Structure 1
Amino acid sequence: MDKENFTYSFSLIEADVWKFAEVEKVIYGNKFVPTPEGGSICKRTSIYHIKGDGEINKDKIKDGYGKKTEGLLKAVEAYFMANPDA
């Protein structure tokens, strides 16, 4: 976590959430960028590390994982709306 630059990252390893590929781990990076209106935009990156010669299906990531990400961002937004000094 880098509070000065409004960024944080984390890794997810050995999880049974990727039914579509042999994923070793995923590293997520998040950066909050202020907007001129006083709000912020969250920019998120995901780096997938695949086991062996496995392949990843980008369409399945967008379809399945995109919905989970949207839910997470809504929870984060609700937290910040309830805790504006956080």
Structure 2
Amino acid sequence: MDPILYISIAGIGVCLFLLLGGGVKAFRWTGGIFVRLIIGALALFFLNAFGSAVGYHLPINAFTVMVSGLLGIPGVVMLVAVDLFILM
């Protein structure tokens, strides 16, 4: 799907949330999760950037971003371990 469609759906969701009376606490919660997912995606990007020197690549998709974002560094280590020991 087109990225414009994703942004439009997110914008409509935020507007509906504001109109229906969502609290500040819910925005803080969803914002925190969104920030963690972005940090997880950046961690995977830097892992791939530095891993290219030794020939290592971990795909960046929705599942890996969620695992690395929500679990942090232990999640990235787990993804690398699963990739090296189970999938290879």
TM score, norm. by length of structure 2 = 0.36
Bigger share in helix: 2
| Greater fraction of residues in strand | 1
